Amino acid sequence: MSIVYLLIPLGLVLVGFGLWAFFWAVGNGQFDDLDSPGWSILKDDAPPQPPRPGDTPPSKQEEP
């Protein structure tokens, strides 16, 4: 049973690391907005849509 003398401190170190990582993530703003980043994949290139006459390519970012 003496293995617990190693495993328990090891577990505590891991918990400490987990908490530190979580604090870092919170401080970094990772939890400030949980909804809109999911939409960011739609930002860079628009999903395929049938091209319309006289339309500019949808991925243009510069001018409307």
Binding site for another protein (CB under 8 A): 1, 4-5, 8, 11-12, 15, 18-19, 22-23, 26-27, 31-36, 38-39, 42-43, 46-47, 49, 52, 55-56, 58, 61-64
Give whole-number Cα distances, 39 to 19, 23, 56, 63, in Å.
28, 25, 23, 21
SS3 for 15? helix
Instruction: Report, in Å, the least distance between residue 12 CB and another protein.
Output: 7
Query: Tokens 């577990």 correspond to what residue?
Result: 11
Instruction: Report, in Å, the least distance between residue 37 CB and another protein.
Output: 9
Instruction: Report, in Å, the least distance between residue 57 CB and another protein.
Output: 10
Integer-rounded Cα Rg, in Å, for the chain is 24
